[in-house]
Chains A and B, each alone.
Chain A
Amino acid sequence: MTRSLRIVVALVVLALGVRDVAAQWNAARFGATRNQVYTTFGLDPALVGSVGYARVVPWVGREWQLGAEVGVVGAEFDTRDFRARLQARTTVVRWRSVRLVGSAAFITRGTENSIYRALSFGADVTGALGVYRRRWFVAGEFGRDKAIITHLTHSDWYRQKFYRDAKDGWYLDAGGTYHYGVVSSVAIGRTEIGVRAGWQRTEDFNDMVPPMYASVGIGVGF
C-alpha cells in the first residue's frame, strides 16, 4: 500500500469515528461549521493533487464559502506546473432540497514544458444544480474556465527546432474551456468525501486531450 493510500484510509477511518460535525463541500451543510481543509487528486486535466482551506461567512443574507487552494501537477511532482485558486461559493436558488449552487474563482496557473514557460491569470464560473441533503448531495455542473491573460516565454529548444522568432509576452484571451459533469459527496461525521467527473471542451466546443476530468477529494470540517 502506498503512503498516500495509507493516509487516505487513515482519514476515512478517522472520519467514521466522529459524527455529527459537518464538512462543507455540501452547500446544505454550510451553516454547521465554519472551516474546512481538504485535499483532492485526479485528472483535472493533468494529474493534479491539491490542498485547500475554506471558510463559511455570512454576507448579504447568504452563507458564502470562501476558499483558497493550491495544486501541483502530479507527474514527477513538477512544481513548475501549478494552480492556485481563490474561490467563492453560495446557494443561488433553493427549493426544498434542490439547489443551484454557484461558484466563481480567480485562478493563477503556471507551467513549463518543452516549448514554453507560462503564467496565466483567469477565472472559472460554475453552476451546480442538484439535490443537497444533510449527509449527501449529487448535482450536475456546468462551468466555464477562462485563461484571461497569459505570459509566454518560449524555450530555446522551441526556437531551435521550430520558430526562432516566436514572440514572448502577454497573450490576451489565449484559452478557455467548458466543463460539464457530475459532482457529489457523502459526509461521514465531520469528514466529507467527494467526487467530480465530466467532460471538457474548448470554448469553440472542440475536442480536448484528455476529453474528461475526474477527481476525488476528502475534506474535514472544524
Chain B
Amino acid sequence: MRAPQWITATCLGLGGLMALGCETLDPGAPGNLVPPTVAEDASLPAIEMNGSRFHLETFGNPANPVIVFLHGGPGSDYRGLLRLAERRNGYSLADEYFLVFWDQRGTGLSMRHDKGLLTTDVYVNDLNTLADRYSPGRPVFLIGESWGGMFATRYINQYPERVAGAVLIESGPLDGATQERLKDDMFDLDLGSEWLNDYAWASQFLSPDDHARMDYERMLGARDGQPKFHQSTVDPQPVWRLGAAASKYITEDGQDENGVFNYDFTTNLAAYTTPVLFIAGAWSEVLGPSLQQEQVLRYPSASLQVVDGAGHDVAWVKATEVLTAARAYLDALKGGSQ
C-alpha cells in the first residue's frame, strides 16, 4: 500500500506545518474535551465501593435520615440536581436529612467502565452498597429524576423494605412497552434537522473511538435534540459529563436482542405501600404530566404534582417549587410514621 503511506505522510507533514509553533492536544486525554473523572483527579470527592470509584458529595448530619439522589440519563450526573441541596425560602433538606449525591457507575465524574460492568443489576447492587454504607440498618429515601425515577422504581421493585419513601421527578417509562410507545417522541429525528446533520457531520472531525470522544460526541444532541422536553436554553441544567458507554449499555440492558425494550420495573410494586410522590414539569410533552398520570397508577399509593413554568428540567429551573413539594411529602411521611 505505497500510495496510502505516501499520502498519509504528506498530509501529516502538512498538518505538522500548520501546527508548527502550536501545542497540539490529545482528544482522549483527561481534561481536554471533557473533565477528568475521579480516576484521573484525586482532588475530586470520591468513595470506593464494589471495585469502582464514585464521585460523591454529602450534605447534612450523617445521623439524620438519608436521602439518596438518583440522577437522570442513563449516563448523566448529579450536577443538575444540586439546587435541591441549596437553602431556599429559609429551608434546606440538609437541615433534617443527610443528603447523598453520587454519579452512578460510569457517569459524570465517576470512574469509567466498559460494557460488562454497566448493567442495571450492577447499578442496583451499587445503590444497595451505598445505602448500607450511609444508612446501615434503616431504609433510605430516594429522589430520582428522569432515568433516576426509573432506577428508583427498579430498586423499590426489588427491595421495597429498604426504601422509606420516594420522589420521582419526570420519571422515564417504568416498563418497556411504554418506552416503546414513547421512544420516537424523545428525539427529533427529522433527517433535515440542523442538530441531526450537525451530529452526523461531526463524525468527520472526531471519531468516538475512546471514552472521552464518545462522551464528547454524546453531548452534541443535548441542546436541540429533544425539543419536546422543553428544557431551558437560558438556564441550562448543567452536567459534568454524559457517560456515553453508561448510556448505551444501560439502555441496551433493557432491550431484547432485536433492540425492543422489554424491561419491567413494576412487577413487585404492589408490595410497596408507602406513598410515592411524582413530580412533572407542565411544559414537558413526553415525560411530563400525561405520562406521570399513567405511572402514578403503577404504585399502590402515589400522587402527582405538576409544576408550572418548566419542562423536563423542572428540578433545575423550578428547584424551589420542587423542594417545597418534596418537603411537604417528606413531612407527611413523618407525620404518618409518628
* A binding-site residues for B, Cβ under 8 Å: 43, 45-47, 73-76, 78, 81, 83, 92, 102, 104, 106, 109, 111, 113-115, 118, 120-123, 125, 144-150, 152, 157-158, 160-163, 165-167, 169-177, 200, 202-204, 206, 208-210
Q: Which of A102, A165, A171 contacts B31 (CB 8 A)?
A: A165
The interface centre, meaning the residue of A109, A121, A147, A163 with most chain B CB atoms within 10 A of its CB, is A163
Judge whether B318 is part of the interface by a CB distance below 8 angstroms.
no
Determine the chain A residues whose CB is within 8 A of the CB of B26 once the complex forms. 171-173
Please determine whether A75 and B25 come into contact, CB atoms closer than 8 angstroms: no
Q: Which B residues touch A171, using CB under 8 A?
A: 24-27, 32, 206
Most buried by B among A150, A162, A169: A162
Judge whether B239 and A162 touch: CB under 8 Å: yes
What residues on A are CB-neighbors of B19 within 8 Å? 149, 170, 172
Closest-CB distance, A79 to chain B (whole angstroms): 13
Residue B39, interface by CB 8 Å = no
A209, B200: Cβ atoms under 8 Å?
yes
Q: A180 CB to closest chain B CB, in angstroms?
A: 15
Contacts between the two chains (Cβ within 8 Å), count = 192
Would B33 and A111 count as touching, CB distance under 8 A? no
Interface size class for chain B?
35 or more
Give the interface of B toward A (CB within 8 A): 3-4, 7-8, 10-12, 14-16, 18-19, 22-27, 31-35, 191-209, 213, 216, 219-220, 222-224, 236-242
List, in ascending order, chain B residues with CB within 8 A of A166's CB.
32-34
Q: Is the CB of B206 within 8 A of A150?
A: yes
* Complexed CA–CA distance, A193 and B199 (Å): 29
- Residue numbers in A under 8 Å from B222 (CB-CB): 114-115, 161-162
For the complex, give the distance between the alpha carbons of A174 and B202 in Å. 11
The closest CB in chain A to the CB of B35 belongs to A163
